[in-house]
Structures are given as C-alpha cells and as structure tokens.
Amino acid sequence: MKDANKETKRSKKPWPTKKAMEQVYAMKLWGDNNSNFYSGEGSHHPDIVTPYIETVRAFLTSFENPLVVCDLGCGDFNIGKELLRHTKKYIAIDIVTDLIKHNKETFKANNLEFHCLDIAVDQLPAADCAVLRQVLQHLSNAEIQNILDKLAAFKYVIVTEHIPEGDFIPNKEIISGQGIRLKKQSGVQLTAPPFHLKVKEERQLIALSLPSFKGMIVTTLYRMF
C-alpha cells in the first residue's frame, strides 16, 4: 500500500455528519426495502451478511464468559439482532435519532440497549469489544481519528471496510456522507498513515469479493493495548 498524502488533524468540533446520515434515511439513498429505515444491501445481501454473522458469532462464542459488545454504527440492526444472543450485553449506537427510536420500538431484549450518539464526538459506553461495520468508510479522516482515540478503551475491535482490490492509496480524504473512498480508488486502512493505529494483534477474519460489488469487503480483528 502507498501512503496517503495528508496528515489527519485531530478535532473535537461537531461535523455535519448527523444531518448527512439523516438525509440518507429520509431520502432512502441506500434503498427502501419497504422500510423507512434501511441500511442498504451491505446490511441485507445474504452473500455479505451470512458469512459475516457466522464469522463474528464464532469469535463471540469462543469466550467462556460472554462479552459486552458496543456496536458503533448499528444502522437498522438487521445484523446486530443476529449477534445479540451471543453477548452479555449489546449496546447499539447510531447517530440518527429517528433510527434509534425506531430500533428501540422494534427490537427488545434484556441485554440490549440503544443510544443515539455521535461516536466521533460523544463519550462511548464501556464494553469489551467494539464493532464498526462499514462505518468509517463514510467518515472524514478527522472524524476517524477522533474515533480511534477512543478505541484503546476496548480490548477487541472488529472493523469491516469496503476497499479496492489490489494496490491502492489508503485513507484518501472525503467529506462525510453517503459515499465512500472506493470512488477515489481508496479505502480505510487503520494501521496506515495518517492514522498509524497501534495494536497488539491484527488478524483478518474474512474478506469477501463478490461479482455484483466492486472491491472487497474485509473484516479485521484488532486486539488493543
């Protein structure tokens, strides 16, 4: 991989990400599937969803004592609902207020919590494992850096990103919103510049290359310091 050109600047200011994501759902920019809250094919296509759920389930059930999981960007919860039963507690977070309200009304469990938070700005709940599934790819580098600064609080972090196949320049800057870096022949690589995420262990859990989707959808497990 080649290095990105620009350094990320840390920032604590709010971004217009909340409005952008509210617009995504209000205008059904990721499709509708006969629902007002639909997180797109990446959260529903069985060729993507089934292997992911099986892989993460295997990780979660490998522990004698179930983990507390914090889902940072839970979307419509189509995937989280399949992992919930394998956790001590599942804390599902999203930035869209109406989406979280809908999820609270739709999904009920004793070990389930929903919170509306901006994960780049707000304090995150305590948990053993953080899950970020195709979330960072929609965010600016400054927002990503703010999130990474908080990940040391978790023992495990599972990150899924849609990246180009083959060689590419990682972490090109984008404006937060519906789109991702794939249009710039780029993708998020947390251990590459400008982020340089420091971890005890990095292990690829699954990489999906599907004919109907450009690039690859890669899920990586990080064990944090």
pLDDT tens-digit map of 35-88: 889 999 999 999 999 999 999 999 999 999 999 999 999 999 999 999 999 999
**Percent above pLDDT 70 for the chain:** 93
In the chain, what are the domain boundaries? 17-223
Q: What is the pLDDT of residue 15?
A: 65
Judge contact between 161 and 179, C-beta under 8 A.
no
Residue among 95, 215, 108, 221 at smallest CA distance from 160 = 221
Strand partners, 221: 158, 203
Q: What is the pLDDT of residue 5?
A: 42
CA dihedral sign, ordered 190, 196, 200, 202: positive
Helix axes 97-106, 17-26, angle to 10 degrees: 60
Judge contact between 184 and 172, C-beta under 8 A.
yes
Q: Is 200 left (phi over 0), alpha (psi -120 to 50) or beta?
A: alpha
Q: Is the pLDDT of residue 12 over 80?
A: no
User: What DSSP designation does 8 have?
Assistant: P
Which CATH architecture is the domain 17-223 placed in? 3-Layer(aba) Sandwich (3.40)
Residue 203: both structure tokens together? 């292990």
pLDDT tens-digit map of 75-122: 999 999 999 999 999 999 999 999 999 999 999 999 999 999 999 999
Q: What is the pLDDT of residue 14?
A: 54
Q: Is the pLDDT of residue 127 over 60?
A: yes
CA dihedral sign, ordered 168, 173, 16, 220: positive
pLDDT tens-digit map of 177-186: 999 999 999 9
Residue 48: both structure tokens together? 């993507």
Residue 192: both structure tokens together? 């590459």
